[in-house]
Amino acid sequence: MALRNASLPSASSETAGGLTALIDYLKRSRGFDFAGYKPASLERRIQKRMQFVGVRQYPDYVDYLEVHPEEFEILFNAILINVTAFFRDSGAWEYLSEHAIPDILARKAAAPVRVWSAGCASGEETYTLAMLLAELMGTQDYKERVKIYATDVDEEALTNARQASYGEREAAGVPPPLLEKYFEHTNGAYLFRKDLRRNVIFGRHDLIQDAPISRVDLLVCRNTLMYFNAETQSHILNRFHFALNDGGVLFLGRAETLLTNANTFSPLDLRRRIFTKVPRAGLNLRDRLLLIAQNGPPDEAGNGVDRQIRLREAALEVAPSAQLVVDVTGALVLANERARSMFALSQTDLGRPIQDLRMSYQPVEIRSYIDQVYAERLPILLRDVEWRSPTGEPRWLDVHIVPLLDGSAIIGAAIAFADVSSAKRLQRELEHANQELETAYEELQSTNEELETTNEELQSTVEELETTNEELQSTNEELETMNEELQSTNEELQTVNEELRQRGEELNTVNAFLESILTSLRGGVAVVDADLKILVWNDHAEDLWGLRPDEVVGRHLLGLDLGLPVERLKQPIRECLSGDRHFIEVELEATNRRGRVIRCRVTCSPLLGAHRAVRGAIVMMEDLDAQQTLEPRREIRVKRGVEQRG
């Protein structure tokens, strides 16, 4: 391709060189040429990926790509932002369906309709086109006449587009009537109709390097050009101009416009970024005139000669200028109707010597010029000869005297008088007008100088405005690019948020389950970590010792002021934490929260984590005296229940 690596003014020369080397490496190794992309956006996307994999320098990232080839696909997905939606910018699609597409269909009549969706991403805009065409043409006519070519450089996006399956969030942009008509709802996903999908052809296509699709009636390329620099945009737009038929429609994104290609595309609706192709002016070929002469054979030789003489005389008679023919003896041989009228000649004057006729010296001395023509054998042209007609009207003539030769012998002369009176009068009027114009010119000259100065100032202002407009356009494209990047990041965050919400629900379920288990136990339970700091303290432990969970959680077990001699638990807990023993039970005398001395059975067991690693200990404390008191009561209740049932 003709485009070369873009400069990077925002980076140091070392950084720019590293990025250039990375772009060249990607082109050599995988065939992707990112040289035409805007440097700022390209560098931002690559830097984000480098930060994710923990690489700071471009050469190190090249080494990382060589070691981890799977990173290529991830990097390309990061650079090629696939943000699209059904009926994105609905106002533009309404104009397309109400004006542009009906005009195309009216012009095409029953002919095939070809549509190109360039930079189609995951296919939402491609299927939007299919729905609009099917609505305007009818399903059957659509199947028979329409071909939609959908292209992109991202193979993964094309794979998703071919499947034509979209979730609830993607399908939210489709109006409900169209969603019900053109999609099948299966397993929580919306699948575009298979019979209409056959008219859509997906394929990989690089807008910079690959040849464009030809004879296209409608070309949709939205929010794709804004990722390229100005030179690459112009290159792609020239290819779009070649691809479109005369009168074809180009549909761009809202941040894109045609600043440098106004002579190739004309806006249909500039606000909605819809344009039509301007046909290039062709060369006008001259028609060839074929003159065919048909000469029938004469009945007799004499009749043929006579016919030719009469034909020549008739041609001379109707000539628009006055013409005379004089033979070598000076006799007037021929005079056409125009000459007879101008010089008051009659048929009886033919054959008379020219010196006997008044026209021999008026308007000019013809005999001397005839002698000169005979001597020099060259024609003479006398211009602007003034002559007064028989009516006294002043006239001006151009007199053309030509020798007539028969081989090398002179046989006479032809004199033609062209009336240039109108031209002469116009010339005099022109001279008079020129004098007046010269005066006006001097007056206008000073005004022109002032206007020239003003024009230069305006030109400077226009150039400044054009520069500002281009900067604003570039900024607008950059903002739109960042907006799509943020939208892509937002979608990723929504996915992560959904996963965190599910994990939170699972954690709440586990906590409720654990809380239910701890509540169902008859004894107090304390869970400690490896440093003997309390992690869990259940309700029975609070009832037994009088300490609430918020008072003990996070504190050292041996530092609690309990009626239980916790120092005697230090060794059993340490044995559990070391993994030497899996179950230790001891009985201790203790004082509960009511001040009563009780027998307390303390059971220690290890708290196991992932891979059965010991993370802490579980300490269960049971009041044996309270259990012995409850057992007889339970037996009595059981006996009463049996008697009642009996």
Q: Residues 488-533: pLDDT tens digits?
A: 889 889 989 999 999 988 888 888 888 777 777 778 899 999 899 9
Q: How confident is the model at residue 276 (pLDDT cuts 50, 70, 90)?
A: very high
Lowest mean pLDDT among 58-62, 136-140, 302-306: 302-306
DSSP class of residue 153 equals S
3-state secondary structure of 164: coil
Token digits for 37?
Answer: 């992309």
Compute the mean pLDDT over every residue in the chain, rounded to the nearest whole number.
Answer: 82
CATH T-level assignment (fold) for domain 522-636: Beta-Lactamase (3.30.450)
Count the neighbouring beta carbons within 10 Å of the beta carbon of residue 452.
10
Say which residue, 100 or 342, is predicted with more confidence: 100
Say which residue, 209 or 360, is predicted with more confidence: 209
Angle CA(69)–CA(75)–CA(80) in degrees, nearest 5? Answer: 140
CATH T-level assignment (fold) for domain 90-277: Rossmann fold (3.40.50)
pLDDT beyond 50 at 3: no
Same fold yes or no, 304-423 and 522-636:
yes
Domain boundaries, the chain: 13-79, 90-277, 304-423, 522-636
Q: How confident is the model at residue 137 (pLDDT cuts 50, 70, 90)?
A: very high
Lowest mean pLDDT among 384-393, 421-430, 481-490: 384-393
3-state secondary structure of 53: helix
What is the pLDDT averaged over residues 391-420?
84
For 374, phi then psi, to 5°, come to -60, -40
CATH T-level assignment (fold) for domain 13-79: Chemotaxis Receptor Methyltransferase Cher; domain 1 (1.10.155)
Lowest mean pLDDT among 41-45, 113-117, 598-602: 41-45
Asked if 234 and 260 count as a contact pair (C-beta separation under 8 A), the reply is yes
What is the pLDDT averaged over residues 448-463?
81
Residue at token pair 């990061």: 78
At 83 the pLDDT is 78
Distance (Å, whole) CA 367 – CA 356: 11
Lowest mean pLDDT among 26-30, 279-283, 527-531, 598-602: 279-283
Q: How confident is the model at residue 297 (pLDDT cuts 50, 70, 90)?
A: very low
Q: How confident is the model at residue 132 (pLDDT cuts 50, 70, 90)?
A: very high
pLDDT beyond 80 at 546: yes
CA atoms within 13 A on the CB side of 190: 19
324-335 pLDDT, tens digit each: 899 888 888 888
At 66 the pLDDT is 87
At 6 the pLDDT is 34
Say which residue, 341 or 126, is predicted with more confidence: 126
3-state secondary structure of 9: coil
Distance (Å, whole) CA 587 – CA 78: 65
Q: Which residues pair with 620 in a beta bridge?
A: 525, 603
Q: How confident is the model at residue 262 (pLDDT cuts 50, 70, 90)?
A: low
| Paired sense of beta strands 146-152 and 200-204, if any | parallel
Tell me which amino acid residue 75 is: L
9-27 residues labelled b (16+ CB within 10 A) or e (exposed): eebeeeebebbbebbebbe
pLDDT beyond 80 at 104: yes
Distance (Å, whole) CA 138 – CA 579: 77
pLDDT beyond 90 at 124: yes
At 478 the pLDDT is 87
What is the pLDDT averaged over residues 186-201?
92
Token digits for 48?
Answer: 């984000």
Q: How confident is the model at residue 58 (pLDDT cuts 50, 70, 90)?
A: confident
Q: How confident is the model at residue 291 (pLDDT cuts 50, 70, 90)?
A: very low
At 529 the pLDDT is 92
Here the contacts of 629-637 (C-beta below 8 Å, separation 24 or greater) are: none
Nearest-Å Rg of the Cα atoms of the chain is 52
Asked if 270 and 262 count as a contact pair (C-beta separation under 8 A), the reply is no
Q: How confident is the model at residue 208 (pLDDT cuts 50, 70, 90)?
A: confident
At 633 the pLDDT is 56
At 77 the pLDDT is 79
DSSP class of residue 96 equals I
342-393 pLDDT, tens digit each: 888 887 788 888 888 887 777 788 888 888 888 888 998 888 888 777 777 7
pLDDT beyond 90 at 193: yes
CATH T-level assignment (fold) for domain 304-423: Beta-Lactamase (3.30.450)
Q: What is the pTM of this model?
A: 0.53
